[in-house]
Structure 1
Amino acid sequence: MKEKVLMITIIVFVLCALYSVTYNYRYRQLSADIKQMERKIEIEWGDWKENRPWPRDAECRNFTTRIAREGTLPLMALASFPRSGNTWLRYLIEGASGLFTGSVYMDKRIYKSGYYGEARNHTDGTTFLQKTHYKARPREFNGRGVLIIRDPFEAILSFYHFKSTKGHTGSIKPKNISIDDFEQFAYTRITRWYEIIEDWLTNGSEVHVVFYEDLVEHPIEVVTHLLRELGLQLDPKRVECLRKFTTGKFLGAKHSANNLYREDLKSVFRSVISMAADKIETKTGQKLPTHKYEFFSE
C-alpha cells in the first residue's frame, strides 16, 4: 500500500513539474509574441531623396532606400566607439530594411556615398537609428539604443589610422608610426571605449548589444535578427540581395599591430576589457567574445 501511495505521489509530482515547465514555456513564448506585436513598426514612407544600393545588379537594381514620413519613427541611437563598424552596420540596416539611417553628424563623404539620411535632422523621425559616438547620449535618445562593441585592440588601432589619414578606409605605413605617440593615443582611448559601454548599460532603458566580431562572421543573420527584434518586417528578396553585397563601401581593412601594443599597454587593455565583460554580462546576460580578441588571452 505504501509503495502504491509513493508511486502515485511520484507520478503526480512529475506531472506537476511537466505542466509547470510547459506552462512557463508557453507563457514566456506568449509574452515574447505579445512583445513582438507591440513593437511591430508600420512604415509610413516619406517623399524625399532615394538611393539605389545595387544599381548594376539585374535582380536587385530596383530596390530603393527611403525616409519615413516625418515624425513616424522612434528616436533610437546607433552608438559605438569610433571605428567599431557603425557606418558598415548602417549600410546593412539600410540594405535590409529600405530605410535610411541617421546621424548626429553631417559627414559629407558618407552622404555622397548614398547615406542620404546623414543630412536629416536626427530627431525628425524620418530615419531608423541615428549614429553617435558621444558619451552621455542615452538621455537624448530616451535611453534607447543599439550599442556596437568591437575589440578595443582593433578599434583603437583603426581609429589611430583614421585620425592620421582623415579617411574611413585609409591606413599609414607601419614604419611611419611612432610607438610612443600611438601609446599615448591608446591610453586615452581605452578609457573612452569603456565609458561609452558603461554609460549606455547604466543609463539606457532599452539597449541592444551587437558584437562587431559576430557581425563580421554572420552579417546577414545578425542584422536581420536585430531588425526583427526592433519591430521591422523584412522583404526576403531584399535580404537575399544584401547577402550578395554585404561589404558596402565602408568596411575597413584589418590593420597590422606591428608590435605597437607593448606588454604594459596590453595589460591595461585586458583589465578594462574584463571590467566591460562583467558589466555586459551583468546587464544583458551576453558574453563579450574575448576569445576572438587577438591580444586578450596571450
Structure 2
Amino acid sequence: MKWLSTEVRDSMGMVAPFYKLHCLLKRAQMLLLCLGIAYLMAGSILLLQRSSIRIAQSNPANLPHMLSLAAPPTALRTAGLGMRARSRWAAIQSAPGGGAKVRRQGPASRSLGVQHLHRRWFHSLVPDSPEQRVSLHRSSTHKVRNVHYRGCFKLLKSTTGSFPVYSFQPNLTTQSCIETCTDKELLLAVFRKPHCFCTWTSSILSLKQQSDNQQCVGNLALNDTSTSTPSAATEHDHYQVYHTPVLDSRCKERMFLPHRSSSLVALSSFPGAGNTWVRHLIELVTGYYTGSFYFDGTLYNRGFKGEKDYWKSGRSICIKTHESGQKEIEMFDSAILLIRNPYRSLMAEFNRKCAGHLGHATDAQWKSKEWPEFVSSYAPWWASHALSWLKFGRHLLVVHYEELQRALLPQLRLITTFLNTTMSEERLFCAQSNQDGHFKRSGPQQPTFDPFTPDMRQMIDAFIHTVDQALKSRNFSGLPEEYLPR
C-alpha cells in the first residue's frame, strides 16, 4: 500500500502541469468570449449612434452647436502641422404620354421600384437650349443627379436603327425622351422631335460626328413651326444627345495601380477646397483609386477604397493631404495643389464641421461664437497652406477649383498628363457624365445673411493678395479675378 500510494503520488505530480495548462486554456477561452461580446456590443452602440445622428440631421433646427475646434496655425508660417493628425490612421471627425409607340429590343427594366426612383430624378426643368446643363428637381429643396448635354451629333439612319429603344410621339419633349431612356436604364437619350432613341454605349458618338449646336437648334425650331405630321428621319440627321442619370457600369470599375509606384504624388488642398470632389474625378477618368494621408470611414464606405490603404504603399494614383509642414511636404515627389476661393473654402469647411460632408450649418451656428473663432484660425491656414507648398513643393501643378468647374475636360487632361497616365474617351465620358459624385453638397443653401464681417474680409483679402503674389513669383498664373477684392 505504501508503494502504491507513492506510485499514485508520482502520477499525480506528472498530471498537475497538464491540469494547470487545461485551466489556463479554459480561462483564455472565457476571456476571448468576453472580448467577442464586448466587440459586438461596441459595434451595436456605434450603429445606434449613427442612426441617432441621421435622425437628428433630418431636422436641421435640432443640430447641436459645432464641436470645439483645435486651432491650426494662426500665423503665416510654413513649419508645423495643420489640423490633421500626423498619423496615417488619424480619424477625421467629423413613361412618355399616351399615343407613344415604343420598340424594345434590349432587356426590360428591372422593377417598377427602380422606375419610380428614376422618375423622381425628373420632375421639372429640361433645357430649352441644348447648350445648358440642367439640374432636374423633384422639388425646390431637393437636388438630384444631373442630366448632362453631350452635344449635337450627325448620325446615320443605320446607326440609330440599331439602338435598342425607339419612341415616336408627335408632341415629344426632351424631358419625356430622357425619362423614357432612364426608365429603360440606358445611358444615352438621342432626341430629334418627334423621334427618341435610347442606347447604352457612347462609342458610336465620336468627335468626328459632333456638329455645331445650331444644327440641332435649327431642326428643333423647324419641327416646332411645322403644322404637318413630321416625316421620318432621313439617311442622316442631327440629334441632341443627353446622358441620363443612369451610370455606366464601366465607370464603376476601379483598381489599385497594377505596379507599385516609386514616386508619391500628393493631392494637396486646404480643407473645404474640393479635395474629395477632385479625387472622385481622378478616379473616374483614370480608373485607379486615390489614397489618403488620413482615414475617413465615411469616404471608404462610399467607394473610396484607397482610404484604407497605407498612403506610402505606392498603389494609389495620388494621395489626399491637407498637411502644410515642410517635413510632410518633402515626403512627396510631386503634388497637385488645389486652391479654392477662401470665402467658399471657409464656408464649405464650416458646413462640414457642423453637418458632415453633405449637410449645411444652420443660421444659429453661423451666428454663434464658433464662426468668428473658426475664421480667425482657419483663414491664416488657407494662406500658409498655399505658401508652404509653393515654397517646399518639388514639382507642382496648380489647379483652381473654379477653373475646374468652368472647363472640366481641359483641366482633367492637364491633371492626367501630370499624373503620367492615359485617358480614354470612355473614361472622359464617365467623368463628364457623373462629375458631381456622392459628395457634392446638395443645393446652394447659404445663410440668410452675410456671415463675413468687415474685419474678416479685410483679413482674408490681405491673405488673397499674399498668395496671388506668391503664385506669380513662382511663374504660375495668379488667382482668378473673382478671388481678388473689389
- Assess same fold via TM > 0.5: yes
Greater displacement, 68-77 / 199-208: 68-77
Q: Which runs of 5+ in 1 are unaligned?
A: 1-54
Is structure 2 residue 440 aligned with structure 1 residue 251?
yes
The percent identity for this pair of structures is 24
Cα distance in 1, alignment partners of residues 296 and 411 from structure 2? 26
Instruction: State the number of aligned residues.
Output: 239
Once the two structures are TM-superposed, the CA of residue 224 in structure 1 deviates from its matched residue by 2.0
> In the alignment, residue 62 of structure 1 is paired with which amino acid?
R
Q: Which runs of 5+ in 2 are unaligned?
A: 1-184, 188-199, 202-247
Partner of 1:173: 362
Partner of 1:211: 400
Contact 2:330 2:394 in 1 (8 A): no
Q: Write out per-residue CA displacement over residues 231-272 of structure 1, whole angstroms, 9 at most, x where no aligned residue.
A: 211111221122111111112254525221111110110001
Q: Give the direction of change, closer, same or farther, for the CA distance of 1:176–1:194 in structure 2 (3 Å limit).
A: closer
Partner of 1:287: 478
Partner of 1:273: 464
Q: Write out per-residue CA displacement over residues 157-178 of structure 1, whole angstroms, 9 at most, x where no aligned residue.
A: 111111112x111112224422
> In the alignment, residue 243 of structure 1 is paired with which amino acid?
Q
Aligned runs of 1:1-298 on 2, under 5 Å?
Answer: 57=187, 58-59=200-201, 60-63=248-251, 64-69=253-258, 71-72=260-261, 74-136=263-325, 137-142=328-333, 144-165=334-355, 167-178=356-367, 180-253=369-442, 254-256=444-446, 258-289=449-480, 291-293=481-483, 296-298=484-486
| RMSD between aligned residues | 1.8
Cα distance in 2, alignment partners of residues 102 and 56 from structure 1? 32
Cα distance in 2, alignment partners of residues 223 and 91 from structure 1? 12
Indicate the structure with greater strand content: 2
Greater displacement, 234-243 / 91-100: 234-243
Indicate the structure with greater helix content: 1
Partner SS, residue 77 of structure 1: strand
Cα distance in 2, alignment partners of residues 91 and 157 from structure 1? 21
Q: Give the direction of change, closer, same or farther, for the CA distance of 1:221–1:251 in structure 2 (3 Å limit).
A: farther
> In the alignment, residue 249 of structure 2 is paired with which amino acid?
R
TM-score by length of 1: 0.75
Q: Give the direction of change, closer, same or farther, for the CA distance of 1:73–1:56 in structure 2 (3 Å limit).
A: farther
Q: Give the direction of change, closer, same or farther, for the CA distance of 1:98–1:176 in structure 2 (3 Å limit).
A: same
Partner of 2:229: none
Once the two structures are TM-superposed, the CA of residue 56 in structure 1 deviates from its matched residue by 7.7
Partner SS, residue 201 of structure 1: helix
Cα distance in 2, alignment partners of residues 117 and 176 from structure 1? 33
Structure of greater relative contact order (alpha carbons < 8 Å, 6+ residues apart): 1
Partner SS, residue 397 of structure 2: strand
Q: Which has the larger radius of gyration?
A: 2
